[in-house]
Chains A and B, each alone.
Chain A
């Protein structure tokens, strides 16, 4: 039997192909009922999509080549470059988990239109992973202090700061594949896309670094595809009203979790990893999440039964303080980081107070004390001054001093014989509804309970090539950098606050 070219074209574009080669059985079960026909607004075949992507890759790699000759890193603000040691691996990990997420969805749904969309996304996520790795390679070779860039991915999985992002992005490919779409495509890539891939490069350019912007704007150009995947999937599952309660539950869960982790980390980069701050993080959130996602995107979907997450007002309240508290906590535990902490000074205090009235009363004294302890000659670290280390939230991994250190909303309870701490009502709600997803997580402090801090640092490989100087430092441009001997002299013992 032969077909005309026109028939083949029509069949290709009908997206109703049967499974003649691949296994049609879903690899991962889903509780959602998925109709056979999708709602993908792009309806573009992978083969056509890839031609565009190859062109984008060429341009970005071409710019990196030029950046070497233009010596862009020499013009970059050290604050940006240091905090990026945390932020960039977080991004790469998110992309990598998203590769797997897309694969999981492709292997689990029988709707060809949706599968085709996610195949394009899977290629995108691989492309993003490669682009970011190339950027980090460029920084390792050309930034004045590569220490930290070289261990980013390993450090992410072993250190408190890294575990925040790690625990966030695990949701992309763990559990029901449609729930994964809700977190990855709907919440992260739709609600937070501008915050992640527009505002972050904006901060980079404002602070003198263009290679990052070139990379991220190439990534950003793919996000419309991913948003469309999320929207198409959501519109498909919302066709069956039996799916609506699960959609709302998933949205409630992931909106909260995503806020906790992303607002903390990205706000930290935007304001503490910069000298020039183009606009305050809270305003970004109001515009892109509050107005664009809630008031515009969600509004279109409420007719289909989707509801605004109940905790949005609480998120809007906490987003004012969360990243300041995160920055403070990370500075307090600086020996366990893998970057040099930018010390905040009087000019920063002014900016923070102008944009977040009341900031100085909550955080100002901390930063003054941090500055005084920055040089190794001080013989002190902030961890010694704390009555105890803050427990880490079993769900979001942020220290339990959120949203503000003077008004923590910590909750501690027993679960299967273990003491569990969560940072908020939202995280407790998530934990109690999905205990299997979070109950087994080991906490960083419990792993090193009773250890000397110097031994923890050595065990985790947080020393520079000389074997003595710490990767992390409490400041940039110190007269002398802290060594493992300085830390050992402190005789500081790590104590798990939930055991002691």
Chain B
């Protein structure tokens, strides 16, 4: 048993051998911000000011520099000795910390499953109990894989105003638990989800907006774009959506439609392997950004997709003038080493 002292609130969490800090905190009635619970998203980053931890989080959610600076992921860090952690960067009030986990569990039923591309499905879940969920565009839910003890994280793709349903974009992975489940799933089946979680959201700002998505990473950006349009937000938006081939792009009309509602929004699909019929941008999303955007000083950037894409875009947009603090991202990483499904971070 190790004791983890939590500053700045001066409370102690008891961690059994091998127990991650996050699960110990939640089970003892404290709240720490968290997202995917498996080291993929970085929402539960804490600063370790004393003691030793074993951390099995993904290298993307926590860079080598982060680790050297003392950061750890509470969801996947197990104390090896008594520790002191600082959670002030989470921005929690003491009341929030002491209130415990407020994340709700919802019963939903499958409303529809659509083939968006050969490897991506659009899944709509209707909320049954409770019948509505209040969430912020950019957040995600943890979906229990029916018949297992595992959860998978997916961002909501619908606008928060449509709060009686949850629309998910799911990339299929061969052998992935949720992917396998979806093969045989049908309308009306019960699925339990918990949430909403995650800190990605559209920031109130005066800056122009650049959204960059790849693969199933379009989900949170789609939700944000819809929310922006509904609020009649006046900020200029450029949405860049990348895929390997034209067949892997989806929701094109829907995205164009949302962008058409605003005089200042532009939608730019990009494909790496374009056929003769394609007359849009080609190459990677970074190529399209470099070609079209020029100086990005005065922009906020939102980036969601596979980790290498997120990393490359982050680096590029900062080089082109976006302040590092104004790059907001979710890396969509597979869950688990053996049975990759998908998660958001």
Contact = CB atoms under 8 A, between A and B. Distances in A.
B65 interface: no
A316 B206 contact: yes
A290 to B, nearest CB: 7
A308 B206 contact: yes
Interface string A286-311: 11001100110011001000001000
B68 interface: no
26 contacts: A283-B323, A286-B323, A287-B325, A290-B205, A290-B206, A291-B325, A291-B326, A294-B204, A294-B206, A295-B203, A295-B204, A295-B205, A298-B204, A299-B203, A299-B204, A302-B204, A308-B204, A308-B206, A312-B206, A313-B206, A313-B207, A315-B206, A316-B206, A316-B207, A316-B298, A317-B298
Nearest to A289: B206
A286 B323 CA distance: 9
Interface in B202-233: 203-207
B323 A294 contact: no
Interface string B319-345: 000010110000000000000000000
Contacts of A316: 206-207, 298
Interface residues of A, number: 16
Contacts of A315: 206
The 4 closest A-B pairs by CB, nearest first: A312-B206, A299-B204, A313-B206, A295-B203
A283 B326 CA distance: 12
Interface string B179-218: 0000000000000000000000001111100000000000
A329 B307 CA distance: 50
A208 B325 CA distance: 30
A67 B323 CA distance: 39
A285 to B, nearest CB: 11
A123 to B, nearest CB: 28
Contacts of A299: 203-204
Contacts of A290: 205-207
A265 B325 CA distance: 26
Q: Which of B205, B298, B325, B326 has the most CB of A within 10 A?
A: B205
Given A299-B204, A302-B204, 11 more contacts: A290-B206, A290-B207, A294-B205, A294-B206, A295-B205, A308-B204, A308-B206, A313-B207, A315-B206, A316-B207, A317-B298
Nearest to A320: B297
Contacts of B323: 283, 286
Contacts of B326: 291
Contacts of B298: 316-317
Q: Taking chain B's interface residues, is the majority helix, strand, or loop, or is none over half, making it mixed?
A: loop
Nearest to A299: B204
A317 B295 CA distance: 14
Contacts, number: 28
The range of chain B's interface size is: under 10
A290 B204 CA distance: 10
Contacts of A294: 204-206
B77 to A, nearest CB: 28
A298 B206 CA distance: 11
Contacts of B207: 290, 313, 316
Contacts of B205: 290, 294-295
Interface in A479-499: none
Interface in A263-300: 283, 286-287, 290-291, 294-295, 298-299
Contacts of A295: 203-205
Interface string B298-310: 1000000000000
A283 B204 CA distance: 18
A75 B135 CA distance: 56
A341 to B, nearest CB: 30
Contacts of B206: 290, 294, 308, 312-313, 315-316
B94 to A, nearest CB: 13
Contacts of A312: 206
Interface string A173-187: 000000000000000
Contacts of A287: 325
A308 B233 CA distance: 11
Contacts of A302: 204
A97 B206 CA distance: 31
Nearest to B203: A295
Contacts of A283: 323
Nearest to A300: B204
A315 B207 CA distance: 11
B319 to A, nearest CB: 14
A312 B206 CA distance: 6
A153 B323 CA distance: 40
B241 to A, nearest CB: 25
Contacts of A308: 204, 206
Nearest to B325: A291
A144 B206 CA distance: 45
A240 B42 CA distance: 40
B156 to A, nearest CB: 20
A200 to B, nearest CB: 22
A202 to B, nearest CB: 19
B49 to A, nearest CB: 24
Nearest to A298: B204
Interface in A228-286: 283, 286
Nearest to A312: B206
Nearest to A302: B204
Contacts of B325: 287, 291
Nearest to B300: A295
Contacts of A298: 204
B199 to A, nearest CB: 13
Interface string A397-430: 0000000000000000000000000000000000
Nearest to A301: B204
A287 B203 CA distance: 14
Contacts of B203: 295, 299
A312 B234 CA distance: 12
A316 B235 CA distance: 14
Interface in A299-354: 299, 302, 308, 312-313, 315-317
A22 to B, nearest CB: 36
Contacts of B204: 294-295, 298-299, 302, 308
A177 to B, nearest CB: 28
A228 to B, nearest CB: 14
A390 to B, nearest CB: 28
Interface in B113-137: none
B145 to A, nearest CB: 35
A302 B201 CA distance: 15
A204 B156 CA distance: 49
Interface string B143-162: 00000000000000000000
A275 B207 CA distance: 31
A298 B325 CA distance: 18
B243 to A, nearest CB: 31
Contacts of A313: 206-207
A295 B201 CA distance: 11
A82 to B, nearest CB: 32
A313 B234 CA distance: 11
A1 to B, nearest CB: 38
A43 to B, nearest CB: 16
